[in-house]
Amino acid sequence: MVLFGMGLGGGMAVVVFAALLAALAYLPFTHRDKTLWHSVLKTMPVAVFAGSAAVQGAPGLLVAGLALSALGDWALSRPFERAFMAGLVSFALAHLCYLGLFIGLVETWRILPVILLIGFALSSELWLAPFTGDMRWPVRVYVGLICAMVMAALSLPDLYRMASVGALLFMASDLILALQMFRMLPDTKRARWAGYTLWTLYILGQMTILFAFVAVKPHG
């Protein structure tokens, strides 16, 4: 099994495999009504990742980031008006946790990714901000946070390169989510496929960040 080959123990591999099964089971529901079962199924994968990270003795900021992401998954799956804002805040705090974790490991900042990500953040004023209405400032803050998190992830030492990949996948999922929410008509084929894609990228991103700290052990 690939999970064992990445350095995961038997128990951890089984738990992660169960989380992936839950994520796969949720995939057809990405465009369905927001029922309680829908919320439980959506929250389960990353909540399991958070519990696994805690059991494995992963850094506290990683555990907190995963737990806050699971809370965000729950909030975004609920049909209430305030749920979206609660989810946005939860994920913003998760990105802050990841940012703090990654910055503590950065030895040298890679300038090109920093420049490109600053440019991307600024470009969102053209293709995203004008379409966000009353959410403009919360979305602006969120874009800044995720770009800062990815800047730090791309400057991590090679030992944590999996976290760099995971952060990019996470950012890609958020990009698709932004387009789905603010630039696509709901209940269309395009919006449905966007939901499938962003969920897949999101789970792979979170899992890869997790593996960077529980499956890869420093040498020496």
**Number of C-alpha atoms within 13 angstroms, CB side, residue 173?**
20
Cα Rg, the chain, nearest whole Å: 17
d(CA 27, CA 203): 11
User: Are 68 and 46 within 8 A, CB to CB?
Assistant: no
Q: The pTM is what?
A: 0.91
Q: pLDDT tens-digit profile of 179-208?
A: 999 999 988 999 999 999 999 999 999 999
Q: pLDDT tens-digit profile of 65-84?
A: 999 999 999 999 988 778 88
Q: Tell me, what's the pLDDT at 216?
A: 61
Q: Tell me, what's the pLDDT at 1?
A: 43
Structure tokens at 15: 């738990």
Average pLDDT over residues 122-134: 96
User: Are 60 and 80 within 8 A, CB to CB?
Assistant: no
Q: Tell me, what's the pLDDT at 7?
A: 53
What is the percentage of the chain residues whose pLDDT exceeds 70?
92
Q: What is the dihedral of CA 125, 131, 133, 136, to 10 degrees?
A: -30
| Closest of 84, 20, 77 to residue 49, by C-alpha | 20
Q: Tell me, what's the pLDDT at 219?
A: 41
Q: Tell me, what's the pLDDT at 116?
A: 97
Average pLDDT over residues 142-160: 97
